[in-house]
Structure 1
């Protein structure tokens, strides 16, 4: 295990700057996930930690040792890539032990480490097979085994599940998390899949345009997003947003819908151009005549829940209900936004009016 520290790390390719002064502390044994849209710099940052790219500015430290000018093979890290990168002419055992063979380790040591990793990853029956005889999930486990045998201080994963189908991704998420619990090795994992980030990480680092937007535990980021970007990126389906203004105890959307607010939040947002946000699962059905009148645009029953796109005074929103509702396009629905579930964001800066400063009533 090792503590990893990034201090004001930047990366440029000529005139193009892709990372802008990134600083981050990763504790011993922590599972950190870097997440963000394509082009945000997350994979570039991982490659800088690995030593596969030269740093333009700042410092990368592993176990209190600055590694900027240290070759990748001397950083005591192991990386698992999106592509399995297995040698097709070598067996599973030979693929897993090849790095140790290159390092000149004794055959007995290589065999012992390969067998130990194979036990962890349930690869023992496959050690004599070739990559073409394996499924996608089995090949990814071999790539992980190749990293494990090196006994690194830090594991680096670069979108390792992108090539797998949905069912296999779920299985491999559980296997990687279980592996981390067993080995307790510091792990830095890159993905664009927010579900992977929410279900696997000790902490999530949300990146955008080469900068860190917010760092925190998954549910903390989900419940208390720092700004509009984080609120819109985390969550599937995404948070609903409405432009408007606070008028007394209410937020009035530009389309004329009126949303009740907690007193402290209404007072904090008084007179400002704001964006209100609410997650689809926090929208409730309203009984009787009270509530907000909406029109069904489309319904999407999934079995476990029903997702319904609704028109609210000209704004389209998505609501998720656990009940199996039978509705059709054009039907009328009356819904309710619980005041304590509404977030307010400054329209210009994108920053959220924080719960700490203005607790929800």
Structure 2
């Protein structure tokens, strides 16, 4: 027996969620998504551990995290492709836990294009509307409008085999757009494309969102995609939410060492240390073997405490005092140079925007930008002074 949709009396979110048909063109209606104490078990194994998340109307939210963190499972639960063990999912003002995917007013774009090879682009894009027995004139209007948005008009009578990978992905997106859903769901849609096309397509997806304003939930393991596309990033780890915020919030003020290490490429350098002293101008952090650096002194920092010092690669420079390192690898990219170094028993990476003359094997000292350092608790890894 399938439950009928319910309206739950949760506190209202921004805007109202409508679920009726659009008026006046594609992308005219959208809904907020609310996830409440959501859990997912496979047998005795719990993989999603009580997640709470609010996604505003028209927001572009990226779920990001390492393989196995639960991001695709969470997306599939929103889509109705995975059952909910406990908790609630609301789309607009409807509780959708027990609704089938086609009753949720969502459209999903998968990693694989999943196009019908024997159907033209036009037929692929309009197929779901045909199954709904929609009027042919309305199907043609929606397909033509989506094709114009995606630059597919010249290819409407071609078959998928005659298209490039990027064009096939646009057709998959067009098939979602014509449904005019309240929510778009993207499950790593760019992972099958080459590096150059990935960059192009992520720009096109972002521009598409800016045009349609449809609420979007996007899954990727690529934190560069997350940083460049999202209004809001949700960092997942082991079925838990580590942090939610804008890309720059997460980059500038990571909640813990996991987020600090995951967001940013190259990753933040994390170095163990001990607070040697605290004064009016800040703290002195002993990094071992005679290396002591100046750092901010956030509230709660105490002398003798074990800490983890975080420094972004771009906040290091050649200097006379700082970290004594030996250069291992020099990676020129054109606009900047990445220098991978050995500091004591760990690897650190520095980024130089000017041309540098480092060679593998060189000994040097890297000065740290004191005001840009991050201090984390040595045991928990949580940011101090957050």
The equivalent of 1:20 in structure 2 is: 49
Gaps (5+ residues) in structure 2? Answer: 1-29, 278-282
Matches within 5 A, 1:98-117: 98-117=127-146
- Does 1:297 find its partner at 2:328? yes
Q: Distance in 1 between matches of 2:199 and 2:133?
A: 37
What are the superposed Cα offsets for residues 222-276 of structure 1, whole Å, 9 maximum, x if unpaired? Answer: 00000010000001001111112010131111344211113x3397142221111
- Does 1:284 find its partner at 2:313? no
Matches within 5 A, 1:80-91: 80-91=109-120
Aligned partner of 1:42 among 55, 67, 71: 71
Aligned partner of 2:249 among 211, 215, 220: 220
Shift of 1:175: 0.4
Structure 1 pair 40–292 and aligned structure 2 pair: CA distance change class (3 A): closer
The equivalent of 2:150 in structure 1 is: 121
The equivalent of 1:168 in structure 2 is: 197
Q: Distance in 2 between matches of 1:266 and 1:117?
A: 53
Query: Is the 1:35–1:204 contact (alpha carbons within 8 Å) kept by the matching residues of 2?
Result: yes
Aligned partner of 1:274 among 272, 287, 307: 307
Structure 1 pair 272–314 and aligned structure 2 pair: CA distance change class (3 A): same
Q: Distance in 2 between matches of 1:277 and 1:200?
A: 25
Partner secondary structure for residue 268 of structure 1: coil
Structure 1 pair 190–255 and aligned structure 2 pair: CA distance change class (3 A): farther
The equivalent of 1:265 in structure 2 is: 298
Query: Is the 1:4–1:63 contact (alpha carbons within 8 Å) kept by the matching residues of 2?
Result: yes
Query: Is the 1:310–1:318 contact (alpha carbons within 8 Å) kept by the matching residues of 2?
Result: yes
Aligned partner of 2:384 among 339, 353, 359: 353
Q: Distance in 2 between matches of 1:171 and 1:23?
A: 33
Shift of 1:346: 1.1
Aligned partner of 1:333 among 358, 364, 372: 364
Aligned partner of 1:252 among 286, 290, 294: 286
Gaps (5+ residues) in structure 1? Answer: 356-361
Structure 1 pair 292–347 and aligned structure 2 pair: CA distance change class (3 A): closer
Query: Is the 1:250–1:266 contact (alpha carbons within 8 Å) kept by the matching residues of 2?
Result: no
State the Cα RMSD in Å. Answer: 1.3
Q: Distance in 2 between matches of 1:354 and 1:169?
A: 38
- Does 1:2 find its partner at 2:27? no
TM-score (norm 2): 0.89
Q: Distance in 1 between matches of 2:254 and 2:302?
A: 17
Shift of 1:104: 0.4
What are the superposed Cα offsets for residues 125-182 of structure 1, whole Å, 9 maximum, x if unpaired? Answer: 0000001110100000000000000000000000000000000001001100000010
- Does 1:316 find its partner at 2:347? yes
Aligned partner of 1:240 among 264, 269, 276: 269
- Does 1:76 find its partner at 2:110? no
Q: Distance in 1 between matches of 2:218 and 2:358?
A: 41
Shift of 1:334: 2.3
Aligned partner of 1:65 among 78, 94, 117: 94
Shift of 1:294: 2.2
Shift of 1:71: 1.2
